[in-house]
A and B are shown apart, each in its own frame.
Chain A
């Protein structure tokens, strides 16, 4: 009854009852779906979101100008360049990260629909956010984590997450490495009738729009300007999607949206051996590349996180550069914050040097830090796993083998992953689900419009890409 195959066969049925959305209703053409309709049907406009979040002390976090770090970046740039770097201090949210914005909407929805509790499959901040928001609404919570390898070694950042979730009264299931975590999550949903507080439901993504709105309002208030560039750490894509939607709705149409991830290319996300050879548990390429190029691999049939619709640029930074910037934030700005926001901060330090000095660049989040999350804990884990850690040229970073802390701030750079490569990979995934090998000619108008919106390619660009794919 509960074997892996049997439970996975019941997946869509369990999903439908645990999320309360009939995704089939939005299907269009052969492979399209009504994305904006799915979001609108939640019935949540921005004012509702901000009111719901304010009731549970979520959002309205400070926007902090990093004057010292900006001055140093400016000193490394050509004359007239070196934008003002601001950071949105999302660590000020109740459970210490912007994920409260997503969890607050999930908890509100679960409560409204009469579910007894909320559950999430998350080894990261979202687990603590769901457990914390469950407390606000008097709901039970179950958090399923991938937390230790076959030698029983716990990732220290995830051990800290276990502690936080348990301190909020959650039942925390700690699993060893493997994608079958989802199987265990489905069993928990089925047994308890809890609400699936997935990161990827429409309301979870709408919950992040308030962040984009706040950035526009605060930048306007502090500087009288609109943000020139906003950098969001990219993993599953919801962070970037929700923020970009909020920025645009608040009128910052011209703002450039950049996704930033820690480069962990070469490490496999489901490998027992690689599990503790990573010094970052989120905001890395192991999640961002698969989820940007195929959002619907998420735990719901159609993810509301679709970053390729909004991303103007996708950059990576090395683990060593993020550790450097984490230390720099502490010693230049007196702020100790966690890895997720510092990934965007490392990118911001380099990118600010290419942007005029009177322009505003916003690092879109911070998260809390502490035992397990701190660079000291992560670098000690890396050393114990036989990974080389030294000061030098960050080009020598080699995920799982070498962490190189830049010897000088000039060495901090971003490396672009071309949007064209992501668009191409996305289209290959989109067509995989269909029997279309003559691509362009088989698709209906609704499919063409959908693929254009998903990739931001124009019709000619889309047809060219489909032609190339059909020959591959």
Chain B
């Protein structure tokens, strides 16, 4: 599926491969690549999974693997957390008690 030039895309690249990480990096971090992702405008038609060039918001040209087209912001909240459910009721009750004592 060809992505048209001018589309906002996300690209991915490896900056430092595993094993060539900075000195004093913890073991678990040294065993994985240092990766980078950045969004920008596709400078030419391209395919997902192929190497493409983009122009970033600061006007820089960057190259990497096209991984997402018009990428969504998918962070959110999720389900309510029952472990926080007692905080409001217990404090309201205590406050009401204090108000009664003041009278």
* A interface residues, Cβ below 8 angstroms from B: 4, 68, 71-72, 75, 117, 140-142, 147-148, 150, 154, 156, 159-160, 162-163, 166, 169-180, 183-184, 191-192, 268, 270-273, 323-324, 327-328, 330-332, 371-372, 374-377, 379-380, 389-391, 405, 407-409
Whether A379 lies near B28 (C-beta < 8 A) is no
Q: Is B50 an interface residue (CB 8 A)?
A: no
Minimum CB distance partner of A404 in chain B: B83
What is the size category of the interface that chain B forms with chain A?
A: 35 or more
Whether B79 lies near A409 (C-beta < 8 A) is no
Between A178, A184, A372, the greatest number of chain B beta carbons within 10 A of the residue's beta carbon is seen for: A178
Whether B83 lies near A389 (C-beta < 8 A) is yes
The residue from A175, A270, A376, A377 contacting B26, defined by CB atoms under 8 A apart: A270
Whether A271 lies near B29 (C-beta < 8 A) is yes
Closest CB in chain A relative to B103 CB, distance in Å: 14
Closest CB in chain B relative to A190 CB, distance in Å: 12
Given contacts A142-B58, A176-B33, A180-B21, contact A323 B76 (CB under 8 A): no
Kindly list chain B residues whose C-beta atoms are within 8 Å of the C-beta of A147: 37
Q: Is B1 an interface residue (CB 8 A)?
A: no
Kindly list chain A residues whose C-beta atoms are within 8 Å of the C-beta of B88: 327-328, 330-331
Kindly list chain A residues whose C-beta atoms are within 8 Å of the C-beta of B86: 391, 407
Kindly list chain B residues whose C-beta atoms are within 8 Å of the C-beta of A174: 36-38
Closest CB in chain B relative to A334 CB, distance in Å: 11
Whether A141 lies near B58 (C-beta < 8 A) is yes
Question: 18 new A-B pairs (CB below 8 Å) besides A159-B74, A324-B87, A377-B76?
Answer: A72-B91, A72-B95, A142-B58, A166-B39, A169-B57, A175-B35, A178-B16, A178-B25, A268-B26, A271-B26, A271-B28, A323-B84, A327-B88, A376-B78, A389-B83, A391-B83, A405-B83, A408-B90
Kindly list chain B residues whose C-beta atoms are within 8 Å of the C-beta of A71: 95, 98
Classify the secondary structure of A's interface with B.
Answer: mixed
Q: Is B100 an interface residue (CB 8 A)?
A: no
Given contacts A75-B98, A172-B38, A175-B35, contact A331 B60 (CB under 8 A): no
Kindly list chain B residues whose C-beta atoms are within 8 Å of the C-beta of A180: 15-16, 21-22, 25, 34
* B interface residues, Cβ below 8 angstroms from A: 15-16, 20-22, 25-26, 28-29, 32-40, 56-60, 73-81, 83-84, 86-88, 90-92, 94-95, 98
* Cα-based distance from A391 to B36 in the complex (angstroms): 38
Given contacts A183-B22, A270-B25, contact A192 B16 (CB under 8 A): no
Whether A270 lies near B29 (C-beta < 8 A) is yes
Whether B60 lies near A374 (C-beta < 8 A) is no
Whether B95 lies near A376 (C-beta < 8 A) is no
Closest CB in chain B relative to A302 CB, distance in Å: 22
Minimum CB distance partner of A155 in chain B: B75
Whether A379 lies near B83 (C-beta < 8 A) is yes
8 A–B contacts, CB within 8 A, in A order:
A71-B95, A140-B57, A160-B75, A175-B34, A176-B33, A178-B29, A180-B22, A407-B86
* Cα-based distance from A72 to B74 in the complex (angstroms): 38
Whether A405 lies near B84 (C-beta < 8 A) is yes
The residue from B15, B22, B58, B74 contacting A170, defined by CB atoms under 8 A apart: B58
Kindly list chain A residues whose C-beta atoms are within 8 Å of the C-beta of B36: 173-176, 184
Kindly list chain B residues whose C-beta atoms are within 8 Å of the C-beta of A162: 73
Given contacts A4-B22, A268-B26, A327-B87, contact A171 B81 (CB under 8 A): no
The residue from A176, A380, A409 contacting B34, defined by CB atoms under 8 A apart: A176
Kindly list chain A residues whose C-beta atoms are within 8 Å of the C-beta of B56: 171
The residue from B29, B73, B90 contacting A163, defined by CB atoms under 8 A apart: B73
Given contacts A4-B16, A177-B29, contact A376 B80 (CB under 8 A): yes
Minimum CB distance partner of A379 in chain B: B81
Kindly list chain A residues whose C-beta atoms are within 8 Å of the C-beta of B34: 175-176, 178, 180
* Cα-based distance from A154 to B36 in the complex (angstroms): 12
* Cα-based distance from A142 to B56 in the complex (angstroms): 10
Given contacts A176-B32, A177-B29, A180-B15, contact A140 B59 (CB under 8 A): yes
* Cα-based distance from A75 to B92 in the complex (angstroms): 13
* Cα-based distance from A52 to B88 in the complex (angstroms): 41
Minimum CB distance partner of A151 in chain B: B32
Kindly list chain B residues whose C-beta atoms are within 8 Å of the C-beta of A169: 57
* Cα-based distance from A140 to B84 in the complex (angstroms): 42
Kindly list chain B residues whose C-beta atoms are within 8 Å of the C-beta of A171: 38, 40, 56-58, 60
Minimum CB distance partner of B55 in chain A: A171
